[in-house]
Amino acid sequence: MDLRNIAIIAHVDHGKTTLVDKLLQQSGAFRENQRVAERVMDSNDLEKERGITILAKATSVVWNDTRINIVDTPGHADFGGEVERILSMVDGVIVLVDAAEGPMPQTKFVVGKALKIGLKPIVAINKVDRPDARITEVVNDVFDLFAALDANDDQLDFPILYGSGKNGWMANSPEGSPSDGMTALFELVLKHVPPPTVEEGAFRMLGTLLEANPYLGRMITGRVYSGSIRPNQAVKVLDNSGKLIETGRVSKILAFRGIERTPIDVAEAGDIVALAGLSKFNVADTVCDPQVTEALHAQPIDPPTLSMTFLINDSPLAGTEGDKVTSRVIRDRLFKEAEGNVALKITESPGTDAYVVSGRGELQLAILIETMRREGFEVGVSRPRVVFQTDEATGERLEPIEEVVIDVDEEHSGVVVQKMSERKADMMEMRPSGGNRQRLVFHAPTRGLIGYQGELMTDTKGTAIMNRLFHSYAPWKGEIAGRRNGVLLSTDAGEAVAYAMWNLEDRGPMMIEPGWKVYQGMIIGEHTRDNDLEVNVLKGKKLTNIRAAGKDEAVRLTPPIRMTLEKALAYIEEDELVEVTPKSIRLRKVKLDPNERKRAERAKEAV
C-alpha cells in the first residue's frame, strides 16, 4: 500500500486536534453509529480538562488506497520538544494558521524547524468563517514568515487551502462550504507530500515517542528507515553515538489504524509503528538488526530555560494525604519522566534530597507536578529560576530572552507597556490587529515573565492574549523587582478559627478557610505591607458565663484568594516553597522556625 507521513503543526488553539477528528471521521475510520469523544486524540485527563495537547500522538487514515500516517502535535511553546523530535518521522507538514490571528510565535518556531530539515509545507488557513477573519493579510503574513525563515524556492511555492476544521471542510478558495468535506486536503497530501524515502540495508528504526503500557511494558514509537521487522526478531539498541545499550527480541509490533493500535505481522520501511519487548530503550536511540553498526542521526533539541527544585515534603503535615513521599520514589519518578520527555533535564542536588528539574517553561513543569500529585506524590517545589549560561569568549553571564506577543484592547495597551518595561522588556513592534485591538511584540527576559500572566489578566480585565517563545540568550539585564507585598505566617499548628481570621482581615487577604489545618511557618495570607508578619489564626473568642447585652454578629469572612498550582509557583519568593499533595496546595517558608529565618537573614546581610 502507498504511504504518506505528515505532521500537523500550528500555534495553540488554531485547531490541530479538531482537524484530525474530521480527517478520521471523513476517511471512514469510525463506524456510522460509533460514539466518539470530541478531540479524540487528546486522550489523557489533563489534556481533556485544559483543552490543550501535551503529548504528540500518531494515528492513520486510508484515502484512495493510500495510508496516511498523521502526527498530532502540541501547540504550546513549553512542549516544543515534542514537536522537534517528531519532525524526523514525517515527509511533509500541514501548517495550520488561524484566519484572524495569523502566524503566532509557536507557528514561527515549528515552521522554522520543519523548513530547516527540508520539509515542504502545505498551508491551511483555518477558521475562515470567523467574523474577524482577515484571510488575504494572513496569507501575506505566512509568506513573509517563510521568507524570514530562509525558506528555499520550493518551500516558498506552498499550496494553500482554506476552510473550517470545526465544520469539517477544506477547499481551494475561501468560498467553500461544509458540503466540500476534506477531499481537497486529502488529495493535496497525496499530490504534494512525497512517499517516504526507503534506505537500503537491514532493519533500522529511530525512536521518537516513549510510553509505558501496563500490559506490554515499555513501548517506543518511531519510523522504520530501512528493512522490515517481524515479531520475535532479534534486534539491538544503539544510542546516538553508536554505543550498544541492549540486545533483545521484539515481542509485539503495533501499527496505528484510526484511533486503535492493531498488532501486525511485519512492519515495512517507511511506516510509523510502535515496538514492545525492549526494556532499556530511550528516545533518540536506534533499534536495528544485530549486523548494523551505525546509529541513525537524531535532531538536536533546544536546551531548557527554566529550572525548579523538587524536595521531599518535610512539613508537619507530610504523609497525611499522599502515599509516595520518600526521596527514592520521587527520584525514580522524575528520572522516568526525563526518559520519555527529551525537553526535561534532571540533576541531583549534591548532599541533599533535592532534584533540580529543568524544562522549557512554567506550564511544562506545572503539568509534571500536577501529574505527580494525581499519582499520590507529595513534594515541596521551589520558585522557578532561569537557567543562565556563560559566554565562553567574554565570561559574561547570559540569560534567556523570550519573544512575547500580546494582543490587547487599545485602552489597556499603556499599562501593558509600562508593566513590561518594569520587567526589563524591549518593545520591538506595536501595530493594530483589527477590532480596536493592538499587537505588542517585546523581547523580554524569562525571569521577568515568571508570574506575569495573572497580573496581565487583572490589568486588562481578562481581554489580553499573551504568547511566548524562546528567542535567544543575551547579556544579563540587571535586577528585576519581585513581589511587593509580604506574607502572613501562622505562629502555631492546629485548625484555623473563623473568629481569629475575621479579626485579622485588616492585615490582608487570606489564602485559607476556617477549619483548614495550618502549621508554624505556613503562609496563610498576603500582608498589606512589604514585610512578613506572624499571626495567630487559632485564637477563638473568649467565652464567659455573663450574657452580653448586644447579640453577637455572625462572623462574615471575605472569600479567600484561591491558589491554583500555576498561581502558587508564580507567587512564591526564593525563601518559600509550594507544598503539593494529592488534596492540597499550601505555601510555606523553606525554614519553618522563625529563629532560623532570622539567623539566615542576618547571615545574608553579613555577606
CATH number, position 494: 2.40.50.250
Q: Report the CATH number at residue 273.
A: 2.40.30.10
- Residue ending a domain, among 150, 165, 192, is 192
Q: Is the pLDDT of residue 550 over 60?
A: no
When pLDDT is averaged across residues 391-404 and rounded to a whole number, the result is 86
CA 465 to CA 405: how far, in whole Å? Answer: 8
Note whether 470 and 496 are same-domain residues: no
Q: How confident is the model at residue 25 (pLDDT cuts 50, 70, 90)?
A: confident
Q: How confident is the model at residue 553 (pLDDT cuts 50, 70, 90)?
A: low
- Residue ending a domain, among 418, 448, 475, is 475
How large is the greatest C-alpha to C-alpha distance in the chain, in angstroms? Answer: 97
Task: Answer whether residue 503 is part of any domain.
Answer: yes
| Nearest residue to 100 via CA among 52, 145, 47, 141 | 141
Note whether 58 and 163 are same-domain residues: yes
Instruction: Say what percent of the chain tops pLDDT 70.
Output: 94
CA 267 to CA 560: how far, in whole Å? Answer: 58
Calculate the CA dihedral of residues 304, 307, 309, 310 and round it to 10 degrees: -50
Q: What are the two backbone dihedrals, phi and then psi, of residue 397, each rounded to the nearest 5 degrees?
A: -80, 130
Amino acid at 354: A
Determine if residue 15 is labeled as part of a ligand binding site: yes
Note whether 14 and 117 are same-domain residues: yes
Q: Report the CATH number at residue 165.
A: 3.40.50.300
Tell me, what's the pLDDT at 558? 87
Tell me, what's the pLDDT at 581? 93
Which comes out higher in pLDDT, residue 435 or 520?
Answer: 520
When pLDDT is averaged across residues 461-470 and rounded to a whole number, the result is 83
Residue 404 grid coordinates: 512575547
Q: Is the pLDDT of residue 310 over 90?
A: yes
DSSP class per residue in 472-522: EEEE---------S-EEEESS-EE--HHHHHHTGGG--BSS-TT-EE-TTE
Q: Is the pLDDT of residue 299 over 70?
A: yes
When pLDDT is averaged across residues 8-16 and rounded to a whole number, the result is 80
CA 139 to CA 67: how far, in whole Å? Answer: 30
Amino acid at 141: D
Note whether 134 and 214 are same-domain residues: no
Residue 112 grid coordinates: 522554522
Note whether 461 and 504 are same-domain residues: no
**Helix or strand or coil: residue 148?**
helix
When pLDDT is averaged across residues 234-254 and rounded to a whole number, the result is 89
Q: Is the pLDDT of residue 198 over 70?
A: yes
CA 388 to CA 399: how far, in whole Å? Answer: 5
Using the CB atoms, write b or e for 492-519: b if 16+ within 10 Å: ebeebbbbbbbbbeeebebbbebebbbb
Q: How confident is the model at residue 451 (pLDDT cuts 50, 70, 90)?
A: confident
When pLDDT is averaged across residues 159-183 and rounded to a whole number, the result is 87
Determine if residue 126 is labeled as part of a ligand binding site: yes
Calculate the CA dihedral of residues 201, 202, 206, 209 and round it to 10 degrees: 140
Q: Is the pLDDT of residue 115 over 70?
A: yes
Q: How confident is the model at residue 30 (pLDDT cuts 50, 70, 90)?
A: low
Q: Is the pLDDT of residue 244 over 60?
A: yes
When pLDDT is averaged across residues 305-310 and rounded to a whole number, the result is 90
Which comes out higher in pLDDT, residue 149 or 553?
Answer: 149
CB atoms within 10 A of CB 367: 23
Note whether 155 and 15 are same-domain residues: yes
When pLDDT is averaged across residues 52-68 and rounded to a whole number, the result is 82
Task: Answer whether residue 314 is part of any domain.
Answer: no
Task: Answer whether residue 264 is part of any domain.
Answer: yes
Worst-scoring range by mean pLDDT, 193-202, 436-445, 524-533, 541-550? 541-550
Determine if residue 128 is labeled as part of a ligand binding site: yes
Q: How confident is the model at residue 471 (pLDDT cuts 50, 70, 90)?
A: confident
Determine if residue 532 is labeled as part of a ligand binding site: no
Q: How confident is the model at residue 215 (pLDDT cuts 50, 70, 90)?
A: confident
Tell me, what's the pLDDT at 47? 64
Note whether 228 and 130 are same-domain residues: no
Q: Is the pLDDT of residue 380 over 90?
A: yes
Tell me, what's the pLDDT at 21? 78
Tell me, what's the pLDDT at 582? 93
| Nearest residue to 124 via CA among 74, 68, 66, 192 | 192
Using the CB atoms, write b or e for 36-65: b if 16+ within 10 Å: eeebbbbeeeebeeeebbbbbbbbbbebee
Residue 160 grid coordinates: 494553500
Determine if residue 541 is labeled as part of a ligand binding site: no
Determine if residue 167 is labeled as part of a ligand binding site: no
Enumerate residues 6+ apart whose C-beta is below 8 A from 310.
Answer: 330, 334, 354, 355, 356, 357, 379, 380, 381
- Residue ending a domain, among 192, 216, 249, is 192
Note whether 131 and 256 are same-domain residues: no
Q: How confident is the model at residue 507 (pLDDT cuts 50, 70, 90)?
A: very high
Which comes out higher in pLDDT, residue 38 or 572?
Answer: 572
Task: Answer whether residue 243 is part of any domain.
Answer: yes
Note whether 225 and 103 are same-domain residues: no
Task: Answer whether residue 519 is part of any domain.
Answer: yes
User: Using one digit for the tens of pLDDT, what is the confidence trace for 137-153?
Assistant: 999 999 998 898 888 88
Calculate the CA dihedral of residues 431, 407, 166, 69 and round it to 10 degrees: 90
**Helix or strand or coil: residue 29?**
coil
Note whether 29 and 124 are same-domain residues: yes
Note whether 164 and 36 are same-domain residues: yes
Determine if residue 309 is labeled as part of a ligand binding site: no
Q: How confident is the model at residue 37 (pLDDT cuts 50, 70, 90)?
A: low
The answer to whether residues 217 and 291 touch, using CB atoms and an 8 Å cutoff, is no
Which comes out higher in pLDDT, residue 361 or 121?
Answer: 121
Which comes out higher in pLDDT, residue 111 or 83?
Answer: 111
Q: Is the pLDDT of residue 44 over 70?
A: no
Please give the residue range of the domain that contains residue 46: 2-192
When pLDDT is averaged across residues 489-498 and rounded to a whole number, the result is 92
Tell me, what's the pLDDT at 29? 57
User: Using one digit for the tens of pLDDT, what is the confidence trace for 511-530?
Assistant: 999 999 999 999 999 999 98
| Nearest residue to 341 via CA among 75, 55, 48, 46 | 55
Task: Answer whether residue 246 is part of any domain.
Answer: yes
Q: Report the CATH number at residue 393.
A: 3.30.70.240
Domain count for the chain, please give it.
Answer: 4
Enumerate residues 6+ apart whose C-beta is below 8 A from 338.
Answer: 344, 345, 346
Note whether 186 and 217 are same-domain residues: no
Structural Rg of the chain based on CA atoms = 27
pTM attached to this predicted model: 0.81
Task: Answer whether residue 145 is part of any domain.
Answer: yes
Beta bridge partners of 490: 535
Beta bridge partners of 1: none
Task: Answer whether residue 440 is part of any domain.
Answer: yes
CA 374 to CA 45: how far, in whole Å? Answer: 10
When pLDDT is averaged across residues 386-395 and rounded to a whole number, the result is 85
DSSP class per residue in 350-404: TTTTEEEEEES-HHHHHHHHHHHHHTTB-EEEPPPEE--EE-TTT--EEEEEEEE
Count Cα neighbours of 238 within 13 Å in the Cβ-side half-sphere.
20
Determine if residue 57 is labeled as part of a ligand binding site: no
User: Using one digit for the tens of pLDDT, what is the confidence trace for 398-422?
Assistant: 888 988 888 888 899 999 999 999 8
CA 249 to CA 231: how far, in whole Å? Answer: 8
Amino acid at 38: E
The answer to whether residues 12 and 67 touch, using CB atoms and an 8 Å cutoff, is no
When pLDDT is averaged across residues 302-328 and rounded to a whole number, the result is 89
The answer to whether residues 489 and 524 touch, using CB atoms and an 8 Å cutoff, is yes
Q: Is the pLDDT of residue 588 over 90?
A: yes
Residue 526 grid coordinates: 498576603
Residue 330 grid coordinates: 520521587
